[in-house]
Amino acid sequence: MKAVAFTQSRAIEETDALVDLDLPLPEPGPHDVRVKVSAVAVNPVDTKVRKSALPHPGEPRVLGYDAVGVVDAVGSAVSAYQPGDRVWYAGDISRAGSNAEFQLVDERIVGTAPTSLSDAEAAALPLTAITAWELLFDRLELDRRDTNGQSLLIVGAAGGVGSILIQLAKQRTNLTVIATASRAESRDWVTSLGADTVIDHSQPIDQAWQAAGLAPVDYVISLTHTDRHFDALIDVLKPQGKLALIDDPDLIDVRKLKRKSLSLHWELMFTRPLFGTDDLILQQQLLNTVAKMVDAGQIRTTLAEVVGPINATNLKRAHALQESQRTIGKLVLEGFAD
Q: Domains of the chain, with CATH numbers?
A: 2-125+271-334 (3.90.180.10), 128-266 (3.40.50.720)
Residue among 335, 331, 293, 283 at smallest CA distance from 80: 283
Residue type, 186: S
Using the predicted structure, report yes or no on whether residue 297 has a pLDDT greater than 90: yes
C-alpha pair distances (Å), 299 with each of 8, 113, 168, 303, 329: 38, 13, 8, 12, 14
More confident residue, 9 or 269: 269
CA distance 64 to 67: 8
What pLDDT was estimated at residue 329? 82
CA distance 327 to 116: 25
What pLDDT digit, counting tens, does each position of 177-217 carry? 999 998 899 999 999 999 999 999 888 999 999 999 999 99
C-alpha pair distances (Å), 245 with each of 135, 203, 227: 8, 20, 11
Average pLDDT over residues 250-254: 94
Average pLDDT over residues 309-313: 96
In the chain, the DSSP E strands lie at 2-6, 19-22, 32-42, 61-62, 67-74, 86-89, 102-106, 110-112, 151-155, 176-180, 197-199, 217-222, 237-245, 263-266, 303-308, 330-334
User: Length of the chain in residues, anyone?
Assistant: 338
Q: Residues 64, 40: contact at Cβ < 8 Å?
A: yes
CA distance 94 to 273: 8
Using the predicted structure, report yes or no on whether residue 168 has a pLDDT greater than 70: yes
Using the predicted structure, report yes or no on whether residue 58 has a pLDDT greater than 80: no
DSSP state for residue 26 in the 8-state scheme: P
pTM: 0.95
